Amino acid sequence: MTTQERAIPAPAPNPENQPYFDACARDTLLVGKCDACGEYHFYPRRICPHCLSDQVQWVAARGTGTIYTYSTMHRGVPVPYTIAYVTLDEGVSMMTNIVGFAPGTLRIGQKVRVQFRATEGGIKVPVFAPA
């Protein structure tokens, strides 16, 4: 890590997604998986976005994936930070931050692994660092 990290604003969970953030507190990344159509989905919900079945499960992801795309915000913010989509090994892509890399070294397709960071409200969220 070569740069100061940005303070992460807290998410505001709702009753549907509270289990996701409860799992983050245990350093576990959950994704949604549907028993009816067999598909994973993200962000996780209690109704499958592929088939509208309510037979959806919370499933622990492996926590590894590759960078689909990223962008570092350089201006208008106190500390530069990098937003990204990471495609998990389960096949779904999620929005996240990439941390713990030297400037100029990121590339699309790079392997990354999940970490958990406390936000300003204390709730933990997943971020990713080069594997």
Partner 1 sequence: MTIKGKAYIAGAYEHPTRKAPDKSVAQLHAECARGAILDAGLSKSDVDGYFCAGDAPGLGPMSMVEYMGLKVRHVDSTDTGGSSYLVHVAHAAEAIALGKCNVALITLAGRPRSEGSSGTQPRSYGANAPDMAFEFPYGMATANGYGMVAMRHMHEYGTTAEQLAWVKVAASHHAQHNEHAMLREVVTVEDVINSPLIADPLHRLDCCVVSDGGGALIVTRPEIARSLKRPLVKIIGAGESPKGQMGGKVDLTYSGAATSGPIAFAEAGVKPADIQYASIYDSFTITVIMQIEDLGFCRKGEGGRFVADGNLISGVGKLPFNTDGGGLCNNHPANRGGMTKVIEAVRQLRGEAHPKVQVPNCRLALAHGTGGQLGSRHVGATLILERE
Residues that bind partner 1 (CB under 8 A): 6, 8-14, 16-17, 20-21, 31, 39-43, 45, 48-50, 68-77, 81, 83-85, 87, 91-97, 108, 119, 125
Least Cβ distance, residue 131 to partner 1 (angstroms) = 19
User: Which 8-27 positions form the footprint of Zn ion (CB under 5 A)?
Assistant: none
Residue 59 identity: V
Largest alpha-carbon pair distance within the chain?
Answer: 46
**What is the spatial distance between Cα 33 and Cα 82, in angstroms, rounded to a whole number?**
28
Whether the CB-CB separation of 34 and 42 falls below 8 Å is answered with no
Of the candidate residues 48, 92, 98, 114, the single one contacting Zn ion (CB under 5 A): 48
| β-sheet bridge partners, residue 117 | 125
Of the candidate residues 10, 47, 51, 106, the single one contacting Zn ion (CB under 5 A): 51
Whether the CB-CB separation of 54 and 82 falls below 8 Å is answered with no
Binding site for Zn ion (CB under 5 A): 34, 36-37, 48, 50-51, 53
